[in-house]
Amino acid sequence: MIKVLVSGFHGSMGTKAVQMIEKDSELALVGVYSPNASADDKAKYNLPADCQVFGNLADIQTDATVWVDFSIPAGAFANVKFALEHHIVPIIGTSGIGEDQLHELSEIAKQNQTNGLVVPNFGLSAVLLMQFAKQAAQYFPDAEVIEMHHGDKKDSPSGTAVNTAKLINEGRKANPQMYPDASETYPGARGADIDNVAVHAVRLPGYVAHEQVLFGGQGEALTIRQDSFDRESFMHGLNIAIKNIAKLNGFEIGLENVL
């Protein structure tokens, strides 16, 4: 039995995580955390009788071995730091954590000899898209990323898009053409430059999580696209991550590390 604490259980992804854990006989939900937690949450969210509800990091005392974080960027760093320092393996689904913070968390993980996993996207289709994009970049160094999410997503671009751009750059065997004459009539028209990959973020109602990578070559083009139509699709990847933390070797990024 793997004992799990979910941080950010009020949110849409946190709520789905709680439900998935409760349905799996191999997992046990032993705690939930949110700075906005209240005494009514246990009944409101139909939590198990023995599940502890915490509203302050300093109050957390738990025998959980896995910390699932679906909080917000502003609080995720402190949450993960707490988990690592208490030898709880964090699985981080919260995007928007800065590069400097990720480096610091990696160092904290080393100091405490605790593994951790940052997951830009729990959807298996998104993981495959990123891997395919890295392979395609060997032959098509010129690429752009368009990511489309629901209107209330806190960060832009998405963690998935940022990671996709980094993997494309890793996979390149030649430098992309930079097109210096492609000036912006309006600032931001060419998107964000991440490792010489233009990344465009779309935020609209009706969308959940979608991404396409456009590759251009001499006289041809390649498009790779994935679509997540329901947040339920992310729970399969989360379940895999929780059950395979033994495969981790330090503080790693990407669901592929536990597949």
> Which residue in 149, 150, 200, 210 is the catalytic one?
149
pTM more than 0.85: no
Question: Is residue 93 within 8 Å of 119, Cβ to Cβ?
Answer: yes
pLDDT tens per residue across span 75-113: 999 999 999 999 999 999 998 888 899 999 999 999 999
Give yes or no: 154 in active site: no
State the CATH number of the domain containing residue 57: 3.40.50.720
pLDDT tens per residue across span 143-184: 999 999 999 888 899 989 999 999 999 999 999 987 666 788
Give yes or no: 149 in active site: yes
Nearest to 78 by CA among 99, 62, 56: 56
The domain tally of the chain equals 2
Question: Is residue 141 within 8 Å of 172, Cβ to Cβ?
Answer: yes
What residues form DSSP beta bridges with 143? 215
Nearest to 256 by CA among 127, 88, 72, 126: 127
Give the DSSP H or E segment for 211.
Answer: strand 209-217
My answer on whether 105 and 193 are in the same domain is no
* Domain range for 178: 124-228
My answer on whether 41 and 101 are in the same domain is yes
My answer on whether 99 and 25 are in the same domain is yes
> Which residue in 16, 81, 153, 210 is the catalytic one?
153
Nearest to 33 by CA among 88, 77, 74, 71: 71
